[in-house]
Amino acid sequence: MYAASEDWGSGGDEYTDGLPARVRRAGGELAALMAARPPRTDPADDVTALEEQLADLRFD
């Protein structure tokens, strides 16, 4: 979603009134896309904890 500088005005005009609706719609579309994705099964996609990443950087 894109919001122009006019979308952030405080005038309550036709443009700023539509921004919350566009944000809700974009959020709903993203949630639907994420829900439709198959679960990840590739171990390469696993997230490594920050503690482990930092431990890997230590030099003895």
Domain-by-domain residue ranges, the chain?
Answer: 5-57
- The CA distances from residue 38 to 7, 17, 20, 30, 31, in Å, are 35, 36, 30, 15, 13
Q: Say if CB 20 and CB 12 are below 8 A apart.
A: no
pLDDT per position as a tens digit, 5-57: 766 665 665 655 677 888 888 999 999 999 999 887 777 777 888 888 888 88
Q: Which of residues 34 and 4 earns the better pLDDT score?
A: 34
> How confident is the model at residue 7, as a pLDDT?
66
pTM for this model (two decimals): 0.49
